[in-house]
Chains A and B, each alone.
Chain A
Amino acid sequence: MKQTAHKLILSLTATILAAGGARAYDVSLSTNLPPIDFHGFASQGFLDSSTYNYLGDTTHGSFLFTEAGVNASLNPFPRTRITAQAFTYDMGQDVGKYDVVLDYASVEYTINDQFGVRAGRIRRPEGIYNSIQDVDLARTFVLLPQGVYDARWRDFYVSMDGGEVFGDISLGKSGDLSYDAFGGVFRPQVDGGLGKKIGNQVPSFVKLDSFGADPQSGLQLWWNTPVNGFRVGATGGYNFDLNFDTTAFGQTSLNHFTVPFVQGSVEYLWKSWTFQSEYFTYWVDPANGGSDHDDAWYADVAYRFNKKVEVGIYYSENDNDVNQRANPSQYQKDVALAVRFDPTSWWIFKVEGHCIHGTGLVDQSSNEPNLNSGKPWYMLAVKTTISF
């Protein structure tokens, strides 16, 4: 299955290249029905790091950094849209593993600009990038600030089964307010990013058996201010029951957590400049008491010189425990510089360098060298994407 997915990605890539470029494909069903609109993308990346392995076996260089998706969209009735996307990815062979997933599949009905409903498997709105964090062509950087958008959590954090209500409300001269109120369930996988994170945090004699469906609800607001290109966002949400079973010495334990989270966002698009900053914080609260409080933030600037070249830089910080901000094994501070090339309208190529202090996001269960050193280490990220 995984080899099949890999071959499909290569076939998709070759087809697009052979076609000499990318354009959306429309397929007509009949004279009475509108056409189905198809789009897709395929990305291949390379990661190389000094000192520590991060997002794969990167100290030896890793090409296990692939993403591909194909989506279809149809407007069969007035104010109605049906859309779906299949997606596959691999990151370091620990996450993704070329499993083909139904990324989203929803039916949407828009009553007016102020109110619409969407139900099915939806991309969860949170901040600037959560709903599109694996869409390389929709941003400057290869790697988003990982403390806010951890690529290893994609299997459960990006899509959910449920629904949302959405709309835009005019505030007159004060701009307008966009809202997305969502609710549904997550379905983390034992062999996914969250499963691996939990596995790294429990003793080796404890085995993670399964996850239960995790109900979550939340609200994303965007104030589109009267200043053209400037918007301010806030997301709040609550995981009602992040639960999983573990087995140790033949005994099964049920583990339950609630996880409230908050994210604030600012974005300003001014001429060829893009300015963004976000802060994300969450609490992991076990049912039997206690709390673990994490947070992360970043600020980035990007400038597009012309149609073909864009440069960006960001600084990000992640703290696994807000009470241990001085502990190098609990924080990760990252300065990234990226150059994006757009040789054609359907092909992009990025090169990015990172200078990182701390190992808060490094896999701490593996045989990594001293995680408390606090010395800088480096990462190179290269990625290319074609799209149609």
Chain B
Amino acid sequence: MKNTFLKLGLLCVVLTAGAWRALALDGAVVIANSGVAADSLSADALKDIYTAKTKYWDGGQVIIIAVLPDKTDAALLQASGMEASQFKTFWQRLAFSGRGQEPKTAADANALVALVAANKGAIAIVPTDTALTGVKKIEIK
């Protein structure tokens, strides 16, 4: 009886720990401007940012999304639920109706990191092997 309860307890611990395992984007990590207070985001919170439901960080700083076209499309799909072309159209609709700002783009990963470092409130998804100079990594839970 004791062994049974022990096994059930261990099973619960394992299952619960699995639920809190960090979400790994496909070959990419999330970075933000070093002035951003958050060190981690839930997957839902990340999606809310990439789908314009959340437009400001907790302190009121506008969230500036920066993207690297073609290089992180799989991770962008995981983050936003949208294919790259759908994501682009989604934000164009907001920008040209006065309801949002189009994400900024960069030509390569190093330029994207520099863009995020230079813009308060910026957030981006970069390939895993990118040098993260001047930015912070955001853990996605």
Q: What is the interface of chain A, defined by CB distance below 8 A to chain B?
A: 23-24, 34, 37, 39, 41, 69, 71, 73, 75, 77-79, 81, 83-85, 104, 106, 110, 113, 118, 122-123, 131-132, 135, 137-139, 168, 176, 178, 228-229, 269, 271-272, 274, 304, 307, 310, 345, 387
Contacts and interface: CB of A to CB of B under 8 A. Distances in A.
B93 A138 contact: yes
6 cross-chain pairs, A with B, having the tightest CB-CB distances, nearest first: A78-B60, A131-B97, A75-B62, A123-B97, A135-B96, A104-B98
B92 A123 contact: no
A159 B102 CA distance: 21
Interface residues of B, number: 30
B56 A79 contact: yes
A180 B89 CA distance: 20
A34 B33 CA distance: 15
A274 B86 CA distance: 9
Given A135-B93, A138-B93, A304 B98 contact: no
Chain B interface, >50% SS class: loop
B98 A122 contact: yes
B62 A131 contact: no
Nearest to B61: A78
Nearest to B85: A304
Contact of A37 (B82, B84, B86, B101): B101
Contacts of A37: 101
B88 to A, nearest CB: 8
Nearest to A73: B101
Nearest to A139: B89
Given A39-B95, A132-B96, A137-B92, A113 B53 contact: yes
A71 B96 CA distance: 7
30 contacts: A23-B105, A24-B102, A39-B95, A39-B96, A41-B96, A71-B98, A73-B95, A78-B60, A79-B56, A79-B60, A83-B98, A84-B98, A85-B96, A85-B98, A104-B97, A123-B97, A123-B99, A132-B96, A135-B93, A135-B96, A138-B96, A139-B89, A168-B53, A228-B81, A271-B83, A272-B85, A304-B83, A307-B70, A307-B85, A310-B85
Count chain B CB atoms within 10 A of each CB in A69, A79, A176 and give the residue with the most: A79
Contacts, number: 82
B86 A269 contact: yes
B85 A69 contact: no
B69 interface: yes
SS class, residues of chain A in contact with chain B: strand
A39 B48 contact: no
Contact of A132 (B62, B86, B93, B120): B93
A83 B59 CA distance: 21
A24 B104 contact: yes
B130 interface: no
A78 B89 CA distance: 27
A137 B101 CA distance: 15
B54 interface: yes
A78 B56 contact: yes
B55 interface: yes
Nearest to A112: B56
Interface string B32-74: 0000000000000000100001111001111000000110000
Given A132-B92, A304-B85, 12 more contacts: A37-B101, A39-B96, A41-B96, A79-B56, A81-B62, A135-B92, A135-B96, A138-B93, A168-B48, A178-B53, A229-B82, A274-B86
